[in-house]
Structures are given as C-alpha cells and as structure tokens.
Amino acid sequence: MLELENVWKSYRVGALGSKRLTAVRDVSFAIAPGEVLSVVGESGSGKTTIGKMVLQLISVTNGSIRLNGEDITAARHSRRKAYYRRVQGVFQDPFSSYNPIFKADRVLETVRESFFPESKRSEWDGKVERTLLSVGLDPGAVLRKYPHQLSGGQLQRMLIARALLLDIEVLVADEIISMLDASTRIDVLNLLGGLKQRGLGVLFITHDLSLANYISERVIIMRHGAVVEMGATGKVFGDPRHPYSRNLLASVPQLHRKWSDAPTELEALEPDGDRDIAPPPLREVDEDHWAAIGP
C-alpha cells in the first residue's frame, strides 16, 4: 500500500545552511493494509524524519514514496489535501498538539470545515459520536472540554479519532504513547491493534523495543539514518543478526530478567562514517528477515 523506495533525506544545518546532515540514507520498505510496522532506533537515527516525509511535512531529497502505486514524492500543494484524506499522523506530545485556547473538539470540527463542508450538522455529529466511541471515548466526557481538562490518553485517542473521521489508509504514529503513564498507555496501544483489524496500515515510530514487539508484525531497526535490520518481529527480536540489534536488545531493561544475571559484553560497532555514501546493503538472512551484514 505505502511504499518507500531508496529514500534519502539531507538537512541543511549550521549558519546559513553551510553544512549538510544526511538524516535518512537509502531506506526502502512497504506497509501492507492491516499491518503495524514499527520503526525503532535511538535518537538521531532518522526514524522521525521518515514519519515526517511520509506525512509530506518535509520534502524527500532522493528516492520516492508511493501510495497505492501513485508517486507522491513530487506532489504539489493542490494534491496534498487529497493525500491527507488517506494519510494522517499523531505525534508525541498530546498537550502541544492542541491549541490550549480552544476547546479540544475543535480539532474534529476543523476536519469538517476543510474536508466535509457540505455534510449536514446532525449527520456529522452522529459520525463524530460513533468515531469517538470506536476509540473508546465517551463523547459526553470529552466533547466541549478544554485540553487541560482531559488526560493525555484521552487527548491522544481524540487525535486518532480525528484521523479516523477521514477515510485514512495509513496512520503515522510517532512516539504517541511515550508521554503517557503506564496505566493508561496500554489503552492507546491496544487501540492501534484494533485499527489494524479495520485494515489500516500503521507506521509506529518508537524508541521502546518492548512496545514495538507487543504491537507490530514487522519491525525496522535503524542506526545513523540507515536500516540495519528488518523483518518479522519474532525473527528480528528472537534472532537478531546485526551486532547493533544485539546490543540494543541486551541493553533493554526487562522485568524478570536482570542485566547482572547474564552480563553481556557489548559488541564493537562501526563508527558513524561518511553519511553520503550508501549504507551496507541488506541481505536476506531468513524468510522475511533482512540484515545489513556481510555473508
């Protein structure tokens, strides 16, 4: 459904854009309908940049992004609106996603204003109510409230409801539960699980490996802007082939297993070299499991 092919992104940084920083290097992957694909990596690995490119918030330097075969990389502004009907995003901080001066349900109303101006008020209200119920929110409890009156979990679910009001096919979820408390974040996570049963493709961007493991069928591990390993979640986390993936998994704190029980020496990794040359190619090491390692 959504495909990325050899996508590169460089930012201009420094005074007057004198330097270039290559944030994403030669990334290719596809999301199928009804699939949650996780992109994990540490800060600066380029995972958020990928989300932004898919959402057309920033341009693509090289390569192409296609939605149902249609190249959207060079889409003009006029075609953006049609694209946003099908692809939407939710971001990390629920409190800065809303304008604190307005009531929170304004985000739903703006969808009507820009996409469904001809719909009748009663029809629209019914649709809003159904959508809110489908994300597990009680319409009476969240409508006509200001953002500060709602919890982070409610706000995030309302943003997901906003996306669902459109006929979206792909949802980009960038660290959407990192700021939520342990007791409520699971609701939002399970909601994403429910979305895939509706046939949505979800691009789940996270730094938390256990969340990625819980929710996604397939996972991509990124480092220095390039993919180091990707494939079926069970295979990548169960049998990591790239040294970086192994280091990452060894460092994750887990309940019921202490670091000191099985002390692992971290493996030596290649340093961050010239980012403008192509990263080592991915090699299929197993069925639906690729890693950037030599044979």
Residues that bind another protein (CB under 8 A): 42-43, 151, 181-187, 189-190, 193, 207, 209-211, 213-215, 233-234, 237, 247-249, 251-256, 258-260, 266
**Residue whose CB is less far from another protein, 136 or 279:** 136
Q: Which of 17, 38, 26 is nearest to 224 (CA)?
A: 26
CA distances in angstroms from 5 to 21, 60, 75, 165, 168, listed in the order given = 20, 11, 16, 29, 21
Q: Please state the closest distance from residue 254 (CB atom) to another protein, in A.
A: 6
Q: Please state the closest distance from residue 104 (CB atom) to another protein, in A.
A: 16
**Residue whose CB is less far from another protein, 63 or 139:** 139
Strands 36-40, 201-206: pairing kind: parallel
**Residue whose CB is less far from another protein, 70 or 181:** 181
**Residue whose CB is less far from another protein, 164 or 191:** 191
CA distances in angstroms from 90 to 51, 76, 87, 93, 156, listed in the order given = 10, 23, 11, 9, 8
**Residue whose CB is less far from another protein, 114 or 149:** 149
Q: Please state the closest distance from residue 190 (CB atom) to another protein, in A.
A: 6
Q: Please state the closest distance from residue 111 (CB atom) to another protein, in A.
A: 27
Q: Please state the closest distance from residue 212 (CB atom) to another protein, in A.
A: 9
Q: Please state the closest distance from residue 237 (CB atom) to another protein, in A.
A: 6
Q: Please state the closest distance from residue 93 (CB atom) to another protein, in A.
A: 13
HSE, side-chain direction, 13 A CA sphere, residue 153: 17
CA distances in angstroms from 208 to 38, 174, 251, listed in the order given = 10, 12, 11
**Residue whose CB is less far from another protein, 126 or 193:** 193
Q: Are 159 and 94 in contact (CB under 8 A)?
A: yes
**Residue whose CB is less far from another protein, 255 or 268:** 255
Side by side, the strands of the sheet bearing 201-206 are 87-90, 170-174, 201-206, 36-40, 218-223, 226-232, 289-291, 283-286
Q: Are 24 and 85 in contact (CB under 8 A)?
A: no
